[in-house]
Amino acid sequence: MNRRLVAAGVAGLLAISAAVAAALAAEIPLDQRRSSYEDMSPGNKAMQDDDTANPAVLFVLDGEALWNAKAGASGKSCADCHGDAATSMKGVAARYPAFDNALRRPVDLEQRINISREQNQKAAPFAFESKEMLALSTYIATQSRGEPISQFDDPRLRPFIEKGRAIFHQRQGQLNLSCAQCHDDNWGKSLAGNIIPQAHPTGYPIYRLEWQNLGSLQRRLRNCMTGIRAEPYPFGAPEYVDLELFLMWRARGMPMETPGVRP
Amino acid sequence: MAARTLVNVPPKAKRGEVIQIRTLISHAMENGFRHDNMGKPIPRDIITSFVCSYNGETIFDATLHPAVSANPFLTFHTVATESGTIDFKWIGDNGFSQEASAKITVE
Amino acid sequence: MLDKLFGARPTRRIFLAGAASLMIVRPAAATPQAMAAAIRQVAGEAEIKPGKIKLDLPPLVENGNSVATTVKVESPMTATDYVKAIHISTEKNPQPNVISVKLGPRSGKAEFQTRIRLADTQQVVAICEMSDGTFWSDKVDVILTLSACLEDPV
């Protein structure tokens, strides 16, 4: 038989079964989506709501200082080009990850910050999860507090959203679980005394009580993978950005809560 | 690098009014009971004392132990007696020392 | 099969086994006796009566790293009748003392808030010392839940 025909047939079957598999994990109807803020105790909700008590605000203040600090060979601060962050950065985090023309793929906010630092400020990039990166990205993301998450309808993002969706539905690790099995199929149920969240990244970077520190979405995703006993992708892997993009698309329209507090 | 602090004092108050003061400081409060990946104990490094004074007179004095959470949050009350400065001082292990202050106008 | 996984009530031991070093290691000293000794150190031989002081802690805690805690004492806080000090202790943390706070007539209100660490399900005790030398106490039993998915350090 013609090998190409067979290959096409097999590819077709695989595509159909992937689509069926994706459809089997029931996606949460848009009007039933809820932030994990709703599942927190009153004390923790109060911690998030109060800017005089939210430990993340300490990082936001550090981020503001970084925004205004001259950096690199350029001697320029973020403010020198972007002005007042409250104006220029409003809504920005709500539409990240965003497509980067030069790289021809989406980048997340942390990567975007480093691209600006290297190319425009001629400064060394911040390390992943460093105090500086967390402070600056949280400061920028806080300017989107209350803004609805983007619909992500840039057509160039579509293939990457689908890649992220595939990761979300892929069984991984020694526990052989996919994200969807907990967060689409069993949200709201108890897992060892915790309520399984729907896993919308509305509050990132978050102050996580478990970490006693602020942390990025990528840190949380690495921990999810460790939790199901899977080998996390290396720091900065494109899989994280694809997955972050899918999660943000899945949360489209929901309001940003950064900086969030979570147990 | 100085530890980031966030203090909240009402800028104005009536004489005799009881006001609430809220404080937050960035500090890991390493409790001294943890071990690193190699099994080596991580030494204790905490804030041990927090003192608040109002125009020089101590109005709140706390002794902290490792069981206080990271990024210590403390709120307390005081009577607004007169206009002036409210000073905050945190002291801790390894020579840690951080100060902050806020002004208050009392009518 | 998934129902069995989610319906089961796994003990904390299953999750603690193979846990990363982030867990607080409990030395042998953490006992109710250690807490009693710490309280004696503060109050001496004085009788400690329940009452007047109110310790506010959630009975069920999602994460022991940061538990919102409020302490209030009924007191007029005048120059002759005020709260001198408040002490919080725990029975199962590695060390019994949590925080001690000195107040005075200038406080206006005997109330403070903080966030504390609790290593395990346990009893937390608050003691206050009044200007007349009397001691009063309140205690709260707290249940701690553990994170469902344990993590490695960054």
pLDDT tens, residue order, chain B (107 aa): 589 999 999 999 999 999 999 999 999 999 998 888 888 999 999 999 999 999 999 999 999 999 999 999 999 999 999 999 999 999 999 999 999 999 999 99
Q: Is C106 helix (H, G, I), strand (E, B) or coil?
A: helix
Shortest CA gap B1–chain C (Å): 22
Q: How many CA atoms lie within 13 A of A118 on its CB side?
A: 8
Tens of pLDDT, residue by residue over A138-194, are 999 999 999 999 999 999 999 999 999 999 999 999 999 999 999 999 999 988 778
Amino acid at A67: W
Question: B34, C21: Cβ pair inside 8 Å?
Answer: yes
User: Could you count the other beta carbons within 10 Å of the beta carbon of residue B48?
Assistant: 16
Class of the CATH domain delimited by C27-144: mainly beta
- Domains detected in chain B: 5-106 (2.60.40.10)
Closest Cα in chain A to C149 = A227
Written as one letter, the residue type at C136 is W
Nearest to C122 by CA among C24, C40, C1: C24
Q: How far is CA A225 from CA A109, A233, A249, in A?
A: 21, 9, 20
3-class secondary structure, A158:
helix
Note if the pTM is more than 0.80: yes
3-state DSSP call for residue C88? Answer: strand
Which residue in the set C9, C61, C150 is minimally distant from A227, CB to CB? C150
Ranking A81-95, A181-195, B40-54, C9-23 by mean pLDDT, the lowest is C9-23
pLDDT, chain C, mean: 82
Q: Which amino acid is at B83?
A: S
Q: Before A205, cis peptide (omega within 30)?
A: yes
- A212/B8 CB distance under 8 A: no
Domains of chain A (ranges; CATH) run 29-262 (1.10.760.10)
Q: Which residue type, as a one-letter code, is found at position A194?
A: N
- Domain extent listing, chain C: 27-144
What is the Cα gyration radius of chain C? 19
A242 Cβ partners below 8 Å, 6+ apart?
A: A106, A160, A161, A163, A164, A167
Residues written for chain B? 107
Residues of chain B neighbouring C104 (CB-CB closer than 8 A): 59
The C-alpha of B46 sits at a distance from chain C's nearest C-alpha, in angstroms, of 12
Letter string b/e over residues A92-122, b meaning 16 or more CB atoms within 10 A of that residue's CB: bbbbbbbbeeeeebbbbbbbbbbeebeebbe
Tracing tokens 């503001």 back to the chain, one arrives at A64
- Positions of E strands within A27-143: 98-100, 105-107
Residue of B nearest to A208 (CA): B70
Q: Which amino acid belongs to residue B15? A: R
Name residue, tokens 């720091």: A235
Nearest by CB to C66, from A192, A194, A209: name it: A209
| Chain-centre distance for alpha carbon A83 | 25
Amino acid type, A124: A
- Run of H or E residues at A59: helix A56-68
Out of A52, A212, A213, closest to residue B22 by CB:
A52
Query: 3-class DSSP state for residue C133?
Result: coil
